[in-house]
């Protein structure tokens, strides 16, 4: 199966887009689906005072501007995570957990405790997906995957508003009290995902949950526990050599 279609590869890149986030309050909301010209200017004027301790969900432009601003202030992110993958057609659920680490530019590590020893690693150039149960590792250059366009804001080459059209949903409508959700629809259609929901905490402007919805209605949900920003990351964190005997697959 091609790497870009594997669920573990999908979660890795989509989640990468959520490592840093925020919210705020500025100007009127444009019609849904339109490209919002004020977002860049709003992001430039964002600040900690405007992007934390919000009382209510901000407008779309306001939220996207602060999401971008908080990410721009962050060099690294680390947190334990819990994953819930729901297959719509069979109404089945699979749970996973582990620790995720991100560092600019373009580096990440998903270290799984359940399933034990699974890894998803990128050094910014090459993506590796190791599946312990079948002793296989999938490798693909990052620039050849379908994800970089959606994630270019992480490497400083793009912005969230360039990749997604957003809507804002108050948290009380999504069983997420004390926050809200940025619901992103990709501007460039992709079979990998039809929606990405970023659940943002009003008090801290941090993304605490991400939900990825694919074209079949399957849902991949990630909850971050006690996230830490700008923590020192050892240089070898994003280097991974699989166990001896591993089959390497290069699509």
CA distance 51 to 67: 9
CA distance 98 to 104: 21
CA distance 195 to 72: 23
Sign of CA dihedral 9, 169, 21, 72: positive
pLDDT of residue 192: 75
pLDDT of residue 146: 54
Contact 101, 237 (CB under 8 A): yes
pLDDT of residue 153: 54
> Residue 218, Cβ neighbours under 10 Å: how many?
17
Tokens, residue 115? 């399933």
Cite the beta strand spans of 88-229 per DSSP E.
92-103, 107-114, 119-123, 126-131, 136-141, 164-170, 179-186, 195-201, 207-213, 219-224, 228-229
Nearest C-alpha neighbor of 107 from the set 81, 70, 78, 150: 78
> Residue 80, Cβ neighbours under 10 Å: how many?
15
Three-state DSSP at 132 gives helix
Under 8 Å CB-to-CB from 223, ≥6 apart: which residues?
81, 82, 83, 84, 208, 209
Instruction: Tell me the pLDDT of the chain (251 aa) as tens digits.
Output: 444 444 444 444 444 443 333 322 222 223 333 334 555 555 555 567 777 777 888 888 888 887 777 777 888 889 999 999 999 999 999 999 999 888 887 788 989 999 899 998 989 889 899 999 999 999 988 877 655 555 555 444 567 788 889 999 999 999 999 999 999 998 888 777 888 888 988 887 788 888 889 889 999 898 988 888 899 999 899 999 999 999 999 97
Q: Where are the alpha helices (DSSP H) in the chain?
A: 7-16, 38-45, 48-51, 60-72, 148-151, 160-163
pLDDT of residue 171: 93
pLDDT of residue 147: 52
Name 102's bridge partners.
77, 108
Tell me which long-range contacts 211-214 makes (C-beta under 8 A, separation of at least 24).
Answer: 212/10, 212/11, 212/14, 212/15, 214/10
Name 228's bridge partners.
78
pLDDT of residue 242: 95
pLDDT of residue 32: 31
Contact 82, 95 (CB under 8 A): yes
């Amino acid at each position: 199966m091609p790497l870009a279609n594997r669920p573990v590869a999908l979660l890795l890149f989509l989640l990468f887009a959520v490592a840093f986030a925020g919210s705020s309050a500025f100007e009127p909301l444009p019609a849904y689906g339109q490209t919002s010209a004020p977002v860049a200017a709003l992001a430039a004027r964002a600040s900690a005072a405007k992007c934390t301790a919000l009382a209510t969900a901000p407008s779309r432009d306001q939220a996207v501007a602060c999401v971008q601003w908080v990410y721009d202030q962050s060099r690294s992110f680390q947190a334990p995570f819990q994953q819930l993958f729901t297959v719509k057609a069979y109404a089945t659920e699979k749970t996973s957990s582990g620790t995720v680490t991100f560092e600019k530019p373009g580096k990440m590590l998903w270290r799984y405790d359940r399933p034990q020893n699974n890894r998803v690693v990128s050094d910014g150039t090459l993506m590796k997906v190791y599946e312990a149960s079948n002793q296989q590792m999938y490798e693909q250059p990052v620039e050849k995957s379908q994800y970089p366009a959606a994630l270019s804001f992480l490497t400083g080459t793009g912005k969230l508003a360039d990749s997604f059209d957003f809507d804002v949903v108050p948290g009380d409508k999504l069983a997420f009290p004390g926050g809200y959700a940025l619901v992103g629809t990709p501007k460039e259609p992709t079979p990998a995902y039809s929606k990405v929901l970023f659940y943002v905490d009003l008090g801290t402007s941090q993304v605490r949950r991400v939900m990825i919805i694919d074209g079949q209605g399957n849902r991949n949900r990630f909850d971050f526990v006690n996230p830490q920003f700008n923590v020192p990351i050892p240089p070898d964190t994003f280097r991974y050599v699989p166990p001896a005997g591993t089959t390497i697959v290069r699509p």
